[in-house]
Amino acid sequence: MPERADFLHGGLRMRLVVGLKYILDPEIPPRDFRIDEEARRPVQGRASLVISPFDENALELALQMKDRDPATQVVALSAGPASSEEALRKALSLRVDEAVRVETDPLGEPDGEQTALLLARAVQRLGGDILLVGRQAGDWDRGQTGPIAAEILGWPCVTAVSRIEAADGRLRLRHEGPDGLEVVEATPPLVLTVTNDEANQLRIPKARDILATRSKQVGRLSLDDLGLSPEAVPPRSEVTRLYVPVEEHQCEWIEGDDAEAKARALADRLMALKVL
Partner 1 sequence: MRVPTRQVYWNIPGHEWMYALFVVLLAVLAWGIWQRASLWRLGRPARRLDQPGRRLAEMNRQVILQARLLRDALSGPMHLLLSWGFVVLFLGTVVVFLKADLGLPVMQGPFYLYFQSLTLDLFGALALIATAVAAWRRYLERLPRLSRTVQDWVILALFALILLTGFVLEGLRIEVTRDPWGLWSPVGYLFGRLFASFLSVGAMRLLHRGLWWFHLVIAFAFLGLIPFSKMFHILLAPLNVYMRSLEPKGELPPMDVEAAAEAGEHLGAAELTDFSWKQLFDLDACTECGRCEAVCPAHAVGKALDPKYVVLNLREHLHAEGPSLLALAARARSAAENGPAEGEGEAVSHLVGPVIDPEALWACTTCRACMEACPVFIEHVPTIVQMRRYQVMELADYPATMQEALTSLEERGHPFRGSTASRLDWAEGLEVPLLSRLGGAEGLDYVLWVGCSAAFDERNQRIARALATLLQRAGVRFAILGDEERCTGDPARRMGNEFLFQMTARENVDLLRRYGVRRILTLCPHCYNTFRNEYPRFGGEYEVVHHSQLLRELLASGRLRVTRPSLLETTYHDPCYLGRYNDEYEAPRAVLGAVAGGGLREMERNRNHAFCCGAGGGRMWAEEAPSQRVNRERARQALATGARRVGTACPFCMTMLEDGIKSETGGDGSVEVRDLAEIVEEATRPAS
Smaller CB separation from partner 1, 31 or 274 = 31
Q: Does 29 engage in binding with partner 1 (CB under 8 A)?
A: yes
Q: Does 207 engage in binding with partner 1 (CB under 8 A)?
A: yes
Q: Does 222 engage in binding with partner 1 (CB under 8 A)?
A: no
Q: Does 25 engage in binding with partner 1 (CB under 8 A)?
A: yes
Which range of residues in 14-22, 96-104, 168-176, 210-218 is near partner 1 by CB under 8 A? 210-218
Candidates 2, 10, 30, 178: give the one binding partner 1 (CB under 8 A). Answer: 30
Number of residues counted as binding partner 1 (CB under 8 A): 19
Helix (H, G, I), strand (E, B) or coil at 197: coil
Distance CA(93)–CA(208), nearest Å, equals 8
Please tell me what DSSP assigns to residue 203: P
Q: Report the site for partner 1 in 166-205 (rule: CB under 8 A).
A: 201, 203-205
Q: Which residues contact 64 (CB under 8 A, 6 or more apart)?
A: 164, 200
Candidates 16, 24, 50, 171: give the one binding partner 1 (CB under 8 A). Answer: 50
Q: Phi/psi at 27 (nearest 5 deg)?
A: -95, 10
Q: Which residues bind partner 1 (CB under 8 A)?
A: 25, 27, 29-32, 46, 48, 50, 201, 203-208, 210-212
